[in-house]
Each structure stands twice: as C-alpha cells, then as structure tokens.
C-alpha cells in the first residue's frame, strides 16, 4: 500500500472482530514504533502488550475510556530514566507520540484497525493504569493503542485546510471559525 494512501486510510476503529491478532503482527507494529524519530536518540519508550483475555477484561473494567472490544492493547510508556535530561525532558511525549503514530500507520498497512486512547497527562487515567500494570514511579503511560481486525470501515481522508497554513510567517489577524469558543478571560 502506498504510504500516503495508508496515512489517509488510518482512522480510529472502535469495533473489532472476535479474532486474535498474531504475535508476529504485534512484533511488526513494535518494530515500526521503534523506528520513530526520538530526541537525542534517547528512545525513552517502553511497551506493555496485553493480549490475554482476563487481563484485557480487567483493563476495560477499570478504564472506562478503553472500553472497545479489541483483542490487543499496547500501552506506550515513557521511562524517565531514559528520557532526555534537563529542559528537554518533556520531549519524551513527542518521542512516544511518534512511536504511537508509527504503530497506527503500520497497522493500517497490514489491514489491522487501531484507536489511540490518551492517558497522560490525565491523572485519573494514569493512576489506575499504573496500579493495574505494576508500572513504577519513573515510568509514565502516555497512551494505549487498541489493535484488532476491524469490524467497521471508515472513509480515507485528509483534513487539509489551507486556512491553517501560513507561508513564511504567522498572520494573527487571519479569521478562523473556531469549533471551541475561547473561555472568556482566558486569552
């Protein structure tokens, strides 16, 4: 599959077939994840793969935001002992996000469906996940990628909008139609 076509085809899939994902396919996704760019080549990412029914059931019981019927969950974590030191520390989020996006695109290319479930920085998401998976203090779960064989189809698309693109410099006076109205007094 052409890469651009695959990127457009990647959509969040929230309905899955009752069919396991082969271990080889999971390894392919993890290889794609770890091919991502990473600040100063720190590679702060770690992955917890959950593909046993009992553990997945508990995960979905505890985390209401992860309640889709995917047979695999990949929890993508940043290990602060491996992260960039000093002011660049927060770059672990970008490193791990790049790894997640690689998983999503790689999965699409082998006809698997995925959805990215955000965890960090919402403390009420992080806490139960850390407890359930025995994650130590210095490791932060950034997100969960649910993976499975899709039971729904969505159209391929881009959301390219030239109004969101500036050339050479920003134009603060450009008018936007904003979906989210600014909170009064906030800006």
Ligand X SMILES: Cc1cc2nc3c(=O)[nH]c(=O)nc-3n(C[C@H](O)[C@H](O)[C@H](O)COP(=O)(O)O)c2cc1C
Hey, which residues between 138 and 167 contact ligand X (CB under 6 A)? Answer: none
DSSP letter for 89, please. Answer: T
In the complex with ligand X, which residue's Cβ is closer, 23 or 62? 62
Q: Does residue 116 touch ligand X according to CB under 6 A?
A: yes
Q: Is 69 in the site for ligand X (CB under 6 A)?
A: no
Q: Does 6 bind ligand X (CB under 6 A)?
A: no
Residue 12 touches ligand X, criterion: CB under 6 A: yes
What would the two tokens of residue 5 be? Answer: 């076509």
Q: How far is CA 134 from CA 73, 119, 154, in A?
A: 16, 16, 36
The correct pick among 32, 73, 115, 145 for binding ligand X (CB under 6 A) is 115
Q: Which residue has the tokens 């698997």?
A: 112
Smallest gap, in angstroms, from Cβ of residue 16 to ligand X?
Answer: 13
Residue number, 11 or 130, with CB nearest to ligand X:
11
Contact stretch for ligand X (CB under 6 A) within 85-93, 111-119, 161-169, 176-184: 111-119
Phi, psi (5° rounding) for residue 156?
Answer: -70, 145
Give the distance, in angstroms, between the CA of residue 169 and the centroid of all CA atoms in the same chain: 30
Ordered alpha helix ranges (H), the chain: 3-9, 23-33, 53-62, 91-109, 123-133
Question: Which residues are near ligand X by CB under 6 A?
Answer: 11-12, 14, 65, 115-118
């Amino acid at each position: 599959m052409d890469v651009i076509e695959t990127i457009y085809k990647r959509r969040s899939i929230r309905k899955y077939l009752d069919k396991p994902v082969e271990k080889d396919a999971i390894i392919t996704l993890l290889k794609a994840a770890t091919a991502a760019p990473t600040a100063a080549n720190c590679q702060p990412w770690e992955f917890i793969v959950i593909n046993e029914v009992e553990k997945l059931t508990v995960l979905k019981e505890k985390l209401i935001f992860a309640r889709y019927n995917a047979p695999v969950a990949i929890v993508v974590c940043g290990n602060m002992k491996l992260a960039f030191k000093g002011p660049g520390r927060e770059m672990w989020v970008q490193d791990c996000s790049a790894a997640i996006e690689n998983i999503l695109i790689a999965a699409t290319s082998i006809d698997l469906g995925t959805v990215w479930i955000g965890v960090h920085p919402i403390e009420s998401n992080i806490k139960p996940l850390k407890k359930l998976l025995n994650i130590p203090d210095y490791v932060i779960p950034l997100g969960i990628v649910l993976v499975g064989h899709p039971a729904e189809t969505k159209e391929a698309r881009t959301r390219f909008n030239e109004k969101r693109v500036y050339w050479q410099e920003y134009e603060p006076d450009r008018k936007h139609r904003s979906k989210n109205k600014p909170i009064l007094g906030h800006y």
